[in-house]
Structure formats: structure tokens, C-alpha cells
Amino acid sequence: MMRDDSYMDIDGTDNKAVVKSRIVCSWNWEPNAMQGHPRLIFCLDDGEFHLLEFSLDMEGVKVLPECVHRGLPCKPLLWMDKGMVVGFVEMGDGMILQLENNRLVHKSAIQNVAPILDLAIADHHGEKQDQMFACCGMCPEGSLRVIRNGVNVEKLLRTDPIYHGVTGLWTLRMKRTDAYHSFLVLSFVEETRILSVGLSFNDICDAVGFQTDVCTLACGLVADGLLVQIHSKCVKLCLPTACAHPEGTLLPSPVCADWYPDVTISVGAVGHNVVVVATSNPCCLYILGVRSLSSFQYELYEIQHVQLHYEVSCISIPQEDWRLDNSSSSCATSGDFRKDFAANIRKFAVIGTHEPSVHIISLEPGEAFQQLAVGHISVNNALGTPISGCIPENVRFVVAARFYILAGLRNGMLLRFESQTSKGHCFPGSFYKESSTPCDDTSLMLIAVRRIGITPVVLVPLHDRANADVIVLGDRPWLLHSARHSLAYSSISFLPASHVTPVSSTDCPNGLLFVSENCLHLVEMVHGKRLNAQKFSIGGTPRKVLYHSDSRTLLVLRTGLTSVSCSSDIVQIDPSNGALLSRFKCEPGETAKCMQIAKIGNDQVLIVGTSKSNGRPMMPNGEAESIKGRLILLSLETIESPRESGSFTAASNLNSSHAGSPFPEFVGYAAEELSSNSMCSSPDEVCCNQIQPELMAGHLRSLVQHTFNGAVLAVHPYLDRYVLAAAGNVLFVFGFLNESPHRIKKYTTSRTRFTITCLKTYASRIAVGDCRDGVLFYSYHENLRKLELIYSDPAQRLVGDVALLSCETAVVSDRRGSISVLSCPRLEVSESPEKNLAVHCSFYMGETAMSIQKVAFKHWLPIDDLTEPVLESVYNCVVASTLLGSIFVMIPLTSEEHQMLQDVQERLSVHPLTAPLLGNDHAEFRRRGIPSGVPPILDGDMLVQFLELTSEQQHDVLNIVSPGKKRQHDISVFQVMRALERVHYALN
């Protein structure tokens, strides 16, 4: 662990000595203690918690004879109200404890990923969303975390891939007041199946009454006990039997009633006591009602129909209970309005048309067809030409802070419409029953547009209320937050899915059922998780992680192990469940320092650098210690993938009953059997506690090794035929004879003034990180077998890590919390005798970045039009991880975008809604330690606040004139939104 404030302490040993003394490392008084009986809780450095009770009488101090809890030593300790105690573990997960009967009971964990010592990025499951595998914490709390950007998903159950051609997925209740769903409806191209939701999923098609040999277009609960199925030929009303639901009819077969139109039905929707269907050729809209003729006899009847100018593409009917929800009407300011809210608002539906447009129509009984509001869709790209496919695929009415309409288009775009109304009212005048406002007076205003993907956008609310968050399905799933301004959404860490529906049962009250890869996936979203990180306790301190794409496994370098025979090793880990597959042990007293994967000829090898001593590899002044080190080459050709190893069981072979899952077996149609998914463990679950050699499939095999007079702190492959190794302050170049990894030869060396801590290459360029002299650019001349220093760092820099974006540009972090972009000056040699790199731009993070990587986010960028050229800059993105547990993502911008967003950032930093809460000078903080004249790297956390503002607030921000500056040219909201969305939502 870090014992002092030295910048280099992270490179020291994990445990210098075993602390024998028992000292108090934290303590805290009980708040609101009883009069005269204060209590003190404290924690010892060996993890024991004790309780002291002070009395003002003759007893004095009362000490409980035994410790009240034993766990990890906490620094600090905080005693909350109601007996809750919060403990924070240094470089590990904290905990929340409850004092019960003079004992502390563990309640939950406080997730902490700091420090992040290394990071590997890979699209492990083919989700088009890279996962980050992070080395977190230090001994004894070291762990491997799988970090994703977005809402965490806990995967519960999965079926076999037997669901081909799913066209629709719905869950239905038997009564509107039911807490749980009763029916699961799956529609296929020429078939419909109904399964029960409960202790088991059984096929109950015959007991419900739905027609099974057709493709269902829509279905729903029209009244308590009455279900409606809409398909292309008919609207079918069904009263299920008791075999389908305990509250169904006792008749031997379900009661059914049909309504047949003259032409084919294209779309439909079901609301409370109303059904709306639309036809094409001719384009008509039918409004149907339900009435009871006698006991167990019902009828669907036509209330009215109207012929439209354009074909209807989608229909949505809000549930009536939104009008009685106090939270929904919170936007109204008038007391009288709130009192009469439920009685005065019309019934209505939202429809999308091929015009393209969005319409709100009245469904009020006894009135003629009336249009309440209309929003025309006209979305243009940057070139000013209309984007094809603007037809709405889904529409939804939302009431949160205000009333608005969501529209998901077939071209992959998401739109938000709001009504043009005065402040204080949520609805236009024509929405009120007694209003005399003309029907065509109200238009819907388009206030926000987002590119979700290139496939049609599907909107599925998480529950029936109008303020529900919405799952947005496109190329991959998103969670849209309905109560926020504009369109704010987060990525859901799940596979691309074609359909989704919420499913609530006694075993899984907040479940979601996704259709993906022809399987049904039952999952739960973990909204309370601030970090979407799955944890594998790995033991020791994980210092380096690499993703091996061929075997789809992780290679992890560990130090600080407590084993007598080995204190450091390299292990192969299955990223799905944390299982250890193979291992290479370092010699006793030897510590692995670095590793990289290289390809030599047709063989893949793992290059490992070690130190033969447990001491520091360098002196306090930066010079190398006189200790030995090794360069080891390990074979990767024989390592096994998880599905091939004997210690791994494929997810499809694990039955839910064997895995101890609380969810029952999924039985019914087509042998629907859900199995437990091993990669779906809880984020807090400890999947790997210690090495189990007898369970491992094999060991990593050593090919060749070489000993140096210095600790090998950095290694890297070079030009696919060389290996670079830094031992102390010497840079070595090794080659392989006849492209054989078994025969290695030293070609040349070069010395630096201080210890080399990191190496990176790009094409023929070599970047060397010196612990004092900063970044050095080298070039290797193959013909002469000579290393030549090309460029040097213009300032002394304690390098944390470096990444090469090109042969001329490097991104480097220092251990004082800054990150800079250095590039070769474009000067002729005769013009300047100096060989210094130029500082292109800098950013003060306030945190030390120990890992910097160049990544490509091409498939994440939202392209507004398929004809728009792909930006080459997407390949020069940078991801950095820090000792405080932060992950920074940096994306290059054009000079025009940078200038515009820099002006916006200055205005946001002084606007009351977006300025720093503590009143700090944002510009001064981010430029701390940066030379004058160096352009700043923009702060994305500051800029992204612009997306959360309303249109009026965004205009207010852009109209601010920064203090001491003249008013610049006007900036349009559209330009800013477009630039920010390409940056923020591309990574979200």
C-alpha cells in the first residue's frame, strides 16, 4: 500500500512488513446518544470493531468483553443515525453495518474501484459496446472489475435460441389493479403463443382464446378480465377461463367476440374501454368500444371511423390512471386546475402517420372525431437535405415535469415534441372538454432530436404510468429518463435486442424480458448502482491486465501474494465468471513488473518483465537501483479458452435448479427452459477468492528468459519482429532468429539519464517514459542496428504512462495530475537546433493516470446520414484510468468545434445553473501547472450540462458575455447540440 505521499510509492512493494502492534485506525462517537451514556465505536488495524460506553456514575467506562464485529480495517469510520455505521476501507470496498444487540451486522457494500492500476478494453461479447477490464484495489482487497458505461443489468435467466422470427412481445394483467403480470404474449410471423407468468411459464393458448395461427399486431387489457387481440383480419375480444387465470370464467372454453373490418388492419392499440385500429388502402381509423350484452356475453362495436389523408404507422393510447396521479399533475400551478384535473382532460390517443407527422386525437365518447394537436416531422441533416425514413415507428405520451410526446422513427432517430402553451399549464386548450379552442390551433413543437442508430426505434415504458422511464430499442438498448429536460438517456449494458417487455412476478417484480440472438433473456436493471462494475476478488494486487482475443480470456499480472513459494504470478482468467484457467509463478522473491502480448512469426507469446528483489526498483532521485531483473517469454499458443477448459461449464448447460436460482424452470411451448447464465452474476458477488491449482486446466509455459542488471519495468513488441525491454535506465532491442520465439538475440542498447518506466510504439516510432526527463522519442535503424534519440520532452515530467496516437503525437500523463498532448514541431533542422517536442494541449485532472490507451470509437459515433464521411479522428480517442478510480475519455475535435465549445465552456462556468457549486474558478483549476499559451483540453463534464438544460436555458447560456471579453459571434443552439451529441451520446 501507499505508506507516504511520495509520487513513486505506487511502484513499491505491497507489504513491507507485518504490523505486530494493535492500534486504533479509526473511531467515531454515537450521534444523539442518551443523556449521560455516550458511546464510542473504534476499529483496530487488524479489522476488529469494539464498542465503549461511557457513564457519569461510578462505573466509568464500560467495555464490551468481545469485539462487536470482525472484518477489514476501516479508515475512516462514521456512525450514522438509527444505529447505522459506515466504514471506508483503504483501497477496497467499504461497508454499511447495523448495530443490533451490541453486534454489528453487515448490510451492504460501498463500491470503490480505486486505485485503477491498469485497464484493458475489448468488445468481449460482441455487443458493439466495449467493456473495460480494470485492475482495482491493492492487497488484500485487490480485484478485477468489468466496467461498462451505462445502466447495470443483472442477467437472471436465458432460454435456448429457439425463438426465430419474433414480431411482437407483450405482458398483460388480468385486472388493471393487479400487482403482477399474468400473461406473456409472443407473436411470430404466422403464429401467436400465450404463456402464463408465475411460478412457471406454461402454454395456455387454448385457455385464453387468442387466435394462434395469425401474427398479432397488438394486444392489451380493455377492461378487467377482458383481453383484446388485434391481427390483420380481426379484432378479437376474449374472456379467459380459470385454467388460464384463477379469476377467469368457469366455463369450459373462453368467451370470445370478434369484429371484422372490410379491409386489412395495419396497426392497432388497446386502451381502457376503447380499441383503436387503422387500415391502409383506404387509410381509415376505427374507434371501437366494448359493451356487455348479458352474462359472459360481450360485443365489440364501432363508435366511429374516419378516413385519413395519410396511412397510420403507429398508435399509442395512454392509460387513464395517469390523470389521477398527483405526480403527473405537478406541473400545474393553479389549485383549481389540480382539483379538476382528472375530470376535465379528454381521453385521447397519439398516432404517427406516413406524412410524416404525429397527431393527438380525441377519444372522448359522444363526440365527433377531433384532432387536438399535430406535430409535423421535418428532420434535415447538415447538408440541408431531408433524411429518408422519417416515418414514426413508435409514439408515446409522457407526463413528467411537463407534457410531451416521444416519437421513434424508422430511420433510427428519436424525437421529442412539446405543446406550445403558456407557462403554468401542461396542456393546450383543446385538451379540455369544455374548451372552445379550435381543433387546429395547437401545434406540437419539435424541441429535441437524437440519433439512436440506423434501425427503427421502438419505445417500451417500464410500467403503465405516464411518467415511466422508457426503454429505447435501436441498434442497442437505451434507458430514457422521462423526468429530465430534452432527451437524456443512458446505455443499457446488454446485447442488441429486437423486442423487450417489462415482466413483473412474485419472484421477479422488476424484470425485463429481452429478445436477443433468438433467445429470451430475463434481466433486472440495477438502478441504485452508481458504477456499472462487476467484481471478481482476485487476491493480491492486480497491476496489469491484457485481453487475449484468440481465447477470449484475460491475462492478469499479480503481486503481493501471501504464498510462501510465490509472491507474484501471471494468471489466465475467464472474464465471464472470474475462474482461474492457468498460471505462471515467478521465482521466490521475484516480482513481475510488466507484460505485453507479441506475435513472433506464427506464434503468440507473452513478454514479461520482472524484478529479482522486493525492494524499490529506483532511488528517490530517479536513478535505477542495482538489482537484477528477468525478461521471460511465455507461450500463448497452448492456453485454452473457457469453453474448452475442464474447469468451465458452458452457461447453456447449467440448469436453474442446479444453480440455486430463485426462478423456476421455464416450461411450456417448444420446450421453453430457462438456464442460469454464469456471466450474469451479481455485481457484488465474489466469484474468485483464491488460487485453486487443482481446478486449473494448465499452466503458462516458459519459452526463453534473459537476465539483466536492473529491474525490467517496461516491455513492448516492435515492428512484429523485435522486442523492446527497459531494464533500469537501459533500453534493449531484441530480435528473434528465424522468427522462432525460442531463439532471442540482443541487437543494440541505449541509455537514458533516469529509470525508464514505460514504453509504447507506433509503426517505427518508440516512445520512452523517463521518470524524470519525461517522454523521449526514439527511432531504430535496422540496417545499422542502432537506436537514435529523435525528440525530447521540453519539461521535466514524472511520467505515469504514455500512448502514441501517431509517429508524431503522444499523450502523456504525469504523477502530479496533468495530461498533455506532445507532438513533433514542424520545423526544419536548420531552423532550430533543439530537438524538443511541442506541447499541443494540456488538461489538469487532479488525479494521477497510471494507464493511457489509444482506442477507436468508430461504431459508437451517431452518423446523421449514411452519405456523411466517417471521421478519421474517431481512431485517435484516448482512455485514461487514475489512482482515484476515475476513467477519462478524450476525443479529438476539429479546430472550429474546439473554438466553439471553448466559448460555450466559458459561459457554462459562470452561468448560475452550471457553474461549480463551490464557486471555484473552473478555468484556473483545469489550467493548473500548464504553461501559458498552451491550449486547454475541454472539460466534457462541464460541457455535457448543456444537454440537460431546456431550450430557453440553453439560449440564456449562449447569450452570456464572459467577464473581461468582448462579445463573440453568435453561436446557435443547433451547432452546439450537434457537436456535443457527437461526443457525449457516442460514448454513452
pLDDT of residue 616: 83
Contact 582, 604 (CB under 8 A): no
Domain ranges of the chain: 24-110, 160-258, 893-987
Shortest CA distance to 278 belongs to which of 186, 346, 349? 349
pLDDT of residue 680: 31
The average pLDDT across 349-369 equals 88
pLDDT at residue 871 is higher than 80: no
On whether the CB atoms of residues 259 and 234 are closer than 8 A, the answer is yes
Contact 315, 359 (CB under 8 A): no
Residues in the chain: 988
pLDDT(812) > 90: yes
Q: According to the model, what pLDDT value does residue 866 have?
A: 37
Quick: pLDDT tens for 427-477.
Answer: 665 665 555 555 545 788 888 787 777 889 999 999 888 888 899 998 888
Instruction: Give me the mean pLDDT over the 475-494 stretch.
Output: 80
Q: pLDDT class for 64, splitting at 50, 70, 90?
A: low
Long-range CB pairs of 374-378 (<8 Å, 24+ gap) are: 374/440, 374/442, 374/443, 374/444, 375/405, 375/407, 375/417, 375/443, 375/444, 375/445, 375/446, 376/443, 377/407, 377/409, 377/415, 377/446
pLDDT in tens, 594-607: 999 988 877 888 99
**pLDDT band per the 50, 70, 90 thresholds, residue 678:** very low
Q: What's the pLDDT at 532?
A: 64
pLDDT of residue 659: 32
Q: Residues 6 or more apart from 384 whose CB is under 8 A from it?
A: none
The residue assigned the cell 383543446 is: 430
Q: pLDDT digit string (tens) for 107-140?
A: 888 888 889 999 988 765 554 556 789 999 888 8
- What is the pLDDT, as a whole number, of residue 829? 46
Task: Specify the higher pLDDT residue, 421 or 766.
Answer: 766
Residue 644, phi then psi, degrees to nearest 5? -95, -20
State how far the alpha carbon of 854 is from the alpha carbons of 801, 873, 901, in Å: 12, 12, 23
420 — pLDDT class (breaks 50, 70, 90)? low
**Residue, of 435 and 852, whose pLDDT is higher:** 852
Average pLDDT over residues 25-43: 77
Is residue 175 scored above 60 in pLDDT? yes
Q: State the average pLDDT over residues 746-771.
A: 91
Question: For residue 617, what pLDDT is reported?
Answer: 83
Q: What is the pLDDT of residue 671?
A: 33
Share of the chain above pLDDT 70, in %: 78
Taking only the tens place, the pLDDT of each residue in 70-93 is 888 888 888 887 788 888 888 888
Of these ranges, 138-147, 383-392, 646-655, the one predicted with the greatest mean pLDDT is 138-147
Lowest-confidence pick of 234-248, 634-648, 744-758, 804-818: 634-648
What pLDDT sits at residue 465?
83
Q: What pLDDT sits at residue 387?
A: 59
pLDDT, tens digit, 9 for 90 and up, residues 679-714: 333 333 333 333 344 345 457 888 888 898 889 999
CATH of domain 893-987: 1.10.150
Residue 337: its pLDDT value, please?
A: 45
Tell me the pLDDT tens digit for each residue of 492-537: 878 889 999 999 988 888 899 999 989 999 988 876 555 567 788 8
Q: Please report which confidence band the pLDDT of residue 673 belongs to, taking 50, 70 and 90 as the band edges.
A: very low
d(CA 521, CA 498): 12
- Mean pLDDT taken over the chain: 79
pLDDT at position 642, please? 61
How far apart, in whole angstroms, are the C-alpha atoms of residue 480 and residue 672?
31
pTM of the model: 0.69
Which of 185-199, 694-708, 969-983 has maximum average pLDDT?
A: 185-199
Indicate whether 330 pLDDT > 70: no
In the prediction, which pLDDT does 17 show?
Answer: 46
Cell numbers at residue 617, please?
526498483
